Structures are given as structure tokens and as C-alpha cells.
Amino acid sequence: MKSYALAAWALTLLAGQESAKVDNAEYRRWSRFKVGSVVKFKITTNAEGQIDDELAVSLKSLDNDQAVLVRTFGGVVGGRKRVTSAERNVPSKVIKGQDAEGRAAKEVGTGEQFIRLLGKMTKCKWVEIEYTVMNGPDEIKMREKTWLHDSLVGGIARFEVKRVTSGVTTTYDASESTPAK
């Protein structure tokens, strides 16, 4: 009888978690494009020793549950070209108040702003969030600002990631957007 009650409680808990899920805006932005679509970013930072100076994000697969992205970073280290790639799963639903990585993020601002996008001044919507990441035993407070424009693959025109305590800021500016045909 105890195990039946425990199983019923677990199912109730899972049902409650499922209802707490909401549509993932990042998935929605990628779902408008076909597999093979790519967006490229130029990377700049105020930190010493920047290794990567470009990022390409391509849509590897897409179904009703998730989009699979391949992120490829490239740069020059010691006069030699360096390229690293990693897949990232973007679920169609996320727990309310969290992003695709499960980080609890707090929205701290939204608005509209003109930025230079692919060579011309373009009005973009932006959203700014704060979250904390762990680096071993240390908590690092992060602030991320993302400028959005529907004309681009994945919908991101620029994003800026700042380590609040150190002031190190890395900016990713869209440099090319190629929808698959």
C-alpha cells in the first residue's frame, strides 16, 4: 500500500512539473528555419588572450520536441587556425523561469534599440537577464543582453555576456545569416 501511495505521489509531482513548462522562445525562433540554416557571429571581448573570434551556429535537426544546434568556434592561436564544435539541444518547452540549460534567469530589462546589423542600422528588440553559474565552488554572477531580429536565422542579431564581478564582456555580432533552401 505504501508503494502505491508513493507511486501516486510521484505521478502527481511529475504532472505538476509538466504543467509548469512553457514554450521556449529560442526553439520557436529556430523552428522557422530548415535544417542546414546557419548564422555566423564575430566575437569581441575586453579580456586578454581572446582565442576565438568567430562563431557559426547551424541547425542540425528539428522535430516537435527539440532543435539540435551545432556551435563551431574558430580562431587563431599561435599562428594556427583552431576550430572546436559542440552540439546543443534546445527543447521546445522549458520550465517556467528557466532557460534551455536549466539556469534560473531573472529578466532585468527589455526595450528597442538601433544597432548596426549586417552593415546597416536596424531597429531590434532586446532583453537583458541575470543568472548565476558555478565555476567549481565559486558562483559567478552573469548579465546577458540579447538583441533580436526576425530576419536572421535563429533570430539573434547580437548578444553580450558580462561577468558582473570582473567586468569581462564578450560580444557576438551577427555577420552572416544563411537560411537553408
Residues 31-74: pLDDT tens digits? Answer: 999 999 999 999 998 877 666 799 999 999 999 999 999 999 99
- Report the number of distinct structural domains present in the chain: 1
Could you tell me if residue 55 is inside a domain?
Answer: yes
Residue pair 174/158 in contact (Cβ under 8 Å)? The answer is yes
pLDDT over 50 at 11, yes or no: no
Residue 123 sits in a domain whose CATH number is: 2.50.20
Could you tell me if residue 11 is inside a domain?
Answer: no
Question: For 47, which DSSP code?
Answer: S
Could you tell me if residue 158 is inside a domain?
Answer: yes
- For residues 110-127, give the mean pLDDT: 96
Tell me how far apart the alpha carbons of residues 142 and 162 are, in angstroms, rounded to a whole number: 6
What residues make up the domain containing 26? 22-178
Please give the pLDDT value at position 50. Answer: 67
Could you tell me if residue 122 is inside a domain?
Answer: yes
Task: Tell me if the pTM is above 0.85.
Answer: no
